[in-house]
Amino acid sequence: MTSFRPLPRKRLTALASALTLASLCLAGAAFAQAQAAPTVGILIDVTGMDPSVKPGNDFYAYGNGGWMKATEIPPDHASWGIFNILADKVLKETRTLLDEAVQQNAPAGSDTRKAADFYASYLDEAAIEARGLAPVKPELSHIAAVKHATALARLLGEQLRADVDPVNATNLWTTRLFGLFVSPDFNDPTHNVGYLLQGGLGLPDRAYYLDASPRMADIRTKYQAYVALVLKLAGIAEAEAKAARIVELEGKMAKAHVSREESEDVLKANNPWKRTEFSARAPGLDWTAFFAAASLDKQPMLMAWQPTAVAGLSALVKSEPLATWKDYLSYHAISRRTGVLPKAFGEARFAFYGKTLSGTPRLAERWKRAVAATNAAVGDAVGQLYVKRHFPPEAKGKVQAMVKGIIAAFNQRIDRLGWMAPETKRKAKEKLSTLYVGVGYPEHWIDYSGLTVVRGEAFENIERADLFEYRRRLAQLGNSVDLSQWWMTPQTVNAVNMPLQDALNFPAAILQPPCFDPNATPAANYGSIGATIGHEISHSFDDQGAQFDAHGRLSNWWTPEDLAHFQASGAQLAAQYDAYRPFPDLAVKGKQTLSENIADLAGLSAAHDAWLASLGSQPAATVQGFSGEQQFFLSYAISWRTKDREAQLRQQILTDGHAPAEYRTDTVRNLDAWYPAFDVQSGQTLYLAPKDRVRVW
């Protein structure tokens, strides 16, 4: 559910706790207290509302004001809300499964044994402490042995890894010069191709290096202090001077990077470069040595997602001193693996990335980090255990029925678009008809037989898992696309849309209370999980997804007039979000969040239509004093119930494709049905005249 990334669109990015979370969930009365467990069948948490607020002035506060006042963010979280509560529940369930796997001593080489050994190794702090820096020393020695530019290029190629999120990268490859994304070809979506992506930064985004404000300057100062501390802890001489040079180098990388907004423009990303052209198009790096070391030397073509960044980063390889590059690589070799190095390293990293960048007071417990790491390394192995115990078949059937109804509603909405030409409608409906919707778990599990996991080798297990995933992705290059391929594990509380695959994934973990409750009213379920389903469907038709046809090909299937109307509506919605200002010095970025905002609006509209259709000729029941319309919209508002620390919220606004939760709630002001449901009148803060309400799909 994110803005275009380039293909999957995750519903939310991972928060500082490194746990993937989601929202748009059904709120129950059990959430009146932050730590409460979900209660099946409860509809509206009245105690979490604030009836003193007029819905038309602040609908988020009306639905969530009481909860916001009563709730404290747990010390190991940067944010807290309904989705976090569900994620914590799933985390505990997964912990139980892994603890049992450790105890049962599954057969050697089995997926369950690999998950158990990985988890147990990560938990064994005493063994990690005893090994000290020994696990990372081979890589440090390898870096130290680099004597010339060709050797540096080989090393950079050896470090290349794959990830699924080229716009909002994870630490898997942001601290590597480039990243590789393997996905369907923009121009031939029947086959996979590699996309080369900008990387190399230790801070979340180029803005952290280029913004001259005192706040950002202070973050850079603290980051440099962290870099120096890591080097000192590792016993590396001249730590302060080297840290200064490392941060200066990253600053030059940031200048070479393109902005997030530009990265999300897929038309600018469609740059097929022949492998043999890289040396001319991006001089500086020995590309022959790089590609050979990265096992890409047989690929005839790679996509340069950010071509100017590829060229700029390549030039830096030549222009910057070799010694600086070696210091940079040594620092990141240590910093990205602090979780499996002695405790002092992990505490140092958290002090900067947790406290400074996200405002989180306390490091998450070791078991939580162990579960997250195991999910990242062998997620499908854990997922098979999770589905077997926690995902009943009846839940899958009910969600599939909702998906069918919302797709039908979206189809009917296309029919009713007065501004869209018949030919454009036909192609839009053709695209809708080809959607692959995965519910619960993948049809084919990842085969981990090629991955070695050794009990007691926590550091090496992560290294091998990253390399295993990279090689698994490499094996897909040039091959036919598997439209049923999943990009999330079943135990992930999230959802995703992949426009190139024309596919959606709804993992098992999100298909339970409070996000989906089979005992709740239809209005509540459609306002929560229904909006999630509609959101993901709509991503295929947002400002980025709408550029792909029914076969996942980057293709303009619009008439010029229809495209102009669609883009004008998007600009109107972007302007609406530009006006939201969480802080006096920082506003929401309407263009950066446009994909998500379009998906919210179209998805909520389609879910509302599907809910009405599900009633047939029967009126919606009034429950707890709320009409069906009120239940629908309140469930949507409560689903965004979130409280953020200031540092985390600022980071989200700068780097994330999602608007803050309270402003996503304000999507309702564009739906006509919301106004009579809560008697919203002209003059109230959220009121929009009918002509000013954005209507996209």
Q: How far apart are CA 480 and CA 20, in angstroms?
A: 29
The answer to whether 514 and 28 have CB atoms below 8 angstroms apart is: yes
Whether residue 514 has a cis bond before it, omega within 30° of 0: yes
Q: What pLDDT digit, counting tens, does each position of 63-98 carry? A: 999 999 999 999 999 999 988 999 999 999 999 999
Residue 513's pLDDT is: 84
Q: What is the pLDDT of residue 463?
A: 96
The token pair that represents 616 in the structure block: 């047939």
Average pLDDT over residues 592-601: 95
Determine how many CB atoms are found less than 10 A away from the CB of residue 150: 14
Residue 163: predicted pLDDT: 67
At residue 517, does pLDDT exceed 90? no
How many Å apart are CA 59 and CA 249, to the nearest integer? 46
User: What does the DSSP assignment read for 314-369?
Assistant: HHHHHHS-HHHHHHHHHHHHHHTTGGGS-HHHHHHHIIIIIIIHH---SPPPHHHH
For residue 658, is pLDDT > 80? yes
Q: What CA–CA distance (Å, rounded) separates 510 from 532?
A: 10
C-alpha–C-alpha distance, residues 435 and 437, integer Å: 6
Per-residue pLDDT, averaged over 207-224, amounts to: 96
The interaxial angle of helices 111-123 and 82-104, nearest 10 deg, is 110
pLDDT, mean over the chain? 90
Q: Residue 169: what pLDDT?
A: 38
Lowest mean pLDDT among 22-31, 317-326, 465-474: 22-31
pLDDT tens digits for 239-277?
999 999 999 999 999 999 999 889 888 889 999 999 999
Max intra-chain CA distance, the chain? 78
The percent of residues above 70 in pLDDT, for the chain, comes to 92
pLDDT of residue 25: 41
Q: Token pair 């913004």 is at which residue? A: 211
pLDDT of 172 reads 39
Provide, rounded to the nearest whole percent, the portion of the chain with pLDDT above 90: 82
607, pLDDT greater than 90:
yes
44-64: average pLDDT: 95
Reported as a single tens digit per residue, the pLDDT across 673-696 is 999 999 999 999 999 999 999 999
Cβ within 8 Å of residue 288, ≥6 positions away: 279, 297
Count of H helices and E strands in the chain? 29, 10
Mean pLDDT on 542-570: 91
How many Å apart are CA 15 and CA 25, to the nearest integer? 17
> Residue 598 and residue 544: Cα distance in Å, rounded?
10
* pLDDT for the residue 11: 32
In the three-class reduction of DSSP (H, G, I as helix; E, B as strand; rest coil), residue 178 is classed as strand
Q: Which domains does the chain have, with CATH numbers?
A: 9-40+49-92+396-447+479-692 (3.40.390.10), 146-336 (1.10.1380.10)
pLDDT attached to residue 303: 97
Q: Is the per-residue pLDDT at 552 higher than 90?
A: no
Q: How confident is the model at residue 512 (pLDDT cuts 50, 70, 90)?
A: confident
Q: Where is pLDDT greater, at 512 or 574?
A: 574
Least confident stretch, 202-206, 227-231, 454-458: 202-206
Give the model's pLDDT for residue 39.
35
pLDDT band at 44 (very low <50, low <70, confident <90, very high): confident
The predicted model scores a pTM of 0.89
Task: Look at residue 493 in the predicted model and tell me its pLDDT.
Answer: 92
Task: Output the pLDDT for position 341.
Answer: 98
- Pick 585 or 168 by higher pLDDT: 585
Q: pLDDT value at position 550?
A: 87
Helix axes 137-144 and 322-335, enclosed angle (nearest 10)? 170
Which has the minimum average pLDDT: 7-11, 55-59, 65-69, 494-498? 7-11
273 class by beta-carbon count within 10 Å (0-12 exposed, 13-18 middle, 19+ buried): middle
From 146-155, 161-170, 503-512, 636-645, the region with the lowest mean pLDDT: 161-170
Higher pLDDT, 40 or 241: 241
